[in-house]
Amino acid sequence: MSNVKKTILNSSGTDPNKILPMKYKWAREHYKKGVANNWTPEEVNMQKDLETWKNPNILSEDERRLIIWNMGFFSTAESLTANNIVLAIYRHITNPECRQYLLRQAYEEAVHTDTFIYCCDTLSIAPDEVYNMYMTIPSIKAKDDFVVDMTKSIFDVNFKTDSNENIQRFVHDLVCYYIFMEGIFFYAGFVMMLSFLRQNKMTGVGEQFQYILRDESVHLAFGADLVNTIIEENPEIWTAEFKAKITENIKRSVQLEYEYAKDCLPRGILGLNAEAIHEYIKYIADRRLERIHLPKVYNAKNPFEWMSEIADLKKEKNFFETRVTEYKQGGMLSWD
Ligand code: MN
Ligand code: FE
């Protein structure tokens, strides 16, 4: 019994609560990073944002639209991601160190949900305006529908990862959730909201997005490690056909994110336009493909070098170190 092999899926031969000895050290590392980055939305002062928001002469119509559109997408996307973890992913990932991380991630998604409650509250934005956008704005609905449609397998109560075919379906859904949703669909919004922060406008909301981006980059890193490990342990699922399907889906998600960017930004503002965001999304889509060992497809250049300081996984460590210092000083966050 003591020599039962610990595997990432279906490790039912081992006690699911037996976390030590630990096999997947990366899961532990992501957990530690999450804890080290602890924050709550109330730490960010929203007073200046409130004054800006209430004043009809500071923000343009287009700037207001951009903020409302992003709050509209993120406010409901955060609970969609939380549901995915708790109701679907957690059920199938039985490995205890991964589950420990999933519990942490679920908590962070709750903090993100709380962030949008806090933003609506402090700025007195009517909740109906923001929380119905996932149904009423076609470019937001298209993104949500895409994720819901592509994660159907793991929501099926009878679904089990008991065959190669089902493990492949599971990885398909995980890629959709971690790579497309958290790795692509959040990123046009991050660029837009962090551009506001850089221009010193609505800095409270901007900082909230900065904290969320930092959490999401760890979610994404965990998701990629999870996907890569399942494939390593089940190499027969990683067929040419399956790889082609994932690449096709990533192209669809890039297109949906571009449509969303055009909708948020019908005209260029803040040194941003939908075309530059499209280029950026293609650039990060290539990074996501490489992270799960697939060839890149776009060879796009990063038009927002300043984002890589914050978002590039390779700089994750510096990024965290910077933040921890800033946080201790209680100063404004700035990585420019
Ligand atoms: Mn989140
Ligand atoms: Fe997340």
Q: What average pLDDT score do residues 5-15 get?
A: 74
Instruction: Assess whether pLDDT exceeds 50 at residue 333.
Output: no
- Ligand 2 centroid from CA 186, angstroms: 9
Cα torsion 45, 264, 262, 247 to 10°: value is: 60
Q: What is the pLDDT of residue 317?
A: 36
- Ligand 1 centroid from CA 4, angstroms: 35
Which pair of tokens denotes residue 89?
A: 């992913």
- Ligand 2 centroid from CA 108, angstroms: 7
Q: Which residue has the higher pLDDT, 15 or 325?
A: 15
Confidence grade of residue 109 (pLDDT, cut at 50, 70, 90): very high
Of the candidates 212, 193, 190, the one whose C-alpha atom is nearest the C-alpha of residue 201 is 193
Q: Which residue has the higher pLDDT, 210 or 15?
A: 210
Confidence grade of residue 154 (pLDDT, cut at 50, 70, 90): confident
Report pLDDT digits (tens) over 228-237. Answer: 999 999 999 9
Ligand nearest to the backbone CA of 78: 1
- The three-state secondary structure class of 22 is coil
Which pair of tokens denotes residue 318?
A: 């510096």
Q: Domain 43-332 class?
A: mainly alpha
Ligand nearest to the backbone CA of 84: 2
Report pLDDT digits (tens) over 59-93. Answer: 999 999 999 999 999 999 998 889 999 999 999 99
Instruction: Assess whether pLDDT exceeds 80 at residue 3.
Output: no
- 99-103, 197-201, 215-219, 307-311: the lowest-pLDDT one: 307-311
Ligand nearest to the backbone CA of 109: 1
Q: What is the pLDDT of residue 228?
A: 98
Q: How many CA atoms lie within 13 A of 74 on its CB side?
A: 32
- Ligand 1 centroid from CA 289, angstroms: 21
Q: What average pLDDT score do residues 310-332 get?
A: 40
- Ligand 2 centroid from CA 58, angstroms: 32
Q: What is the pLDDT of residue 311?
A: 52
Name the residues annotated as catalytic. 118
Confidence grade of residue 309 (pLDDT, cut at 50, 70, 90): confident
- 79-93, 132-146, 179-193, 321-335: the lowest-pLDDT one: 321-335
- 4-13, 27-36, 144-153, 164-173: the lowest-pLDDT one: 4-13
- Ligand 1 centroid from CA 91, angstroms: 20
Q: What is the pLDDT of residue 16?
A: 62
Which residues have CB atoms below 5 A from the ion given as ligand 1? Answer: 78, 109, 112
- The three-state secondary structure class of 304 is coil
- Ligand 1 centroid from CA 39, angstroms: 13
Ligand nearest to the backbone CA of 212: 1
- Ligand 1 centroid from CA 284, angstroms: 18
Query: Quick one: what percent of the chain has pLDDT higher than 70?
Result: 89
- Ligand 1 centroid from CA 246, angstroms: 23
Report pLDDT digits (tens) over 113-147. Answer: 999 999 999 999 988 889 999 999 999 999 999 99
Which pair of tokens denotes residue 185?
A: 């669909």
Q: Which helix (H) or strand (E) holds 62?
A: helix 61-83
**Residue 283: CB partners within 8 Å, gap ≥ 6?**
298, 300, 301, 302, 303
How far is the first Cα of the chain from the last one, in angstroms, to the nearest whole number? 54
- Ligand 2 centroid from CA 110, angstroms: 10
Instruction: Assess whether pLDDT exceeds 50 at residue 46.
Output: yes
Ligand nearest to the backbone CA of 220: 2
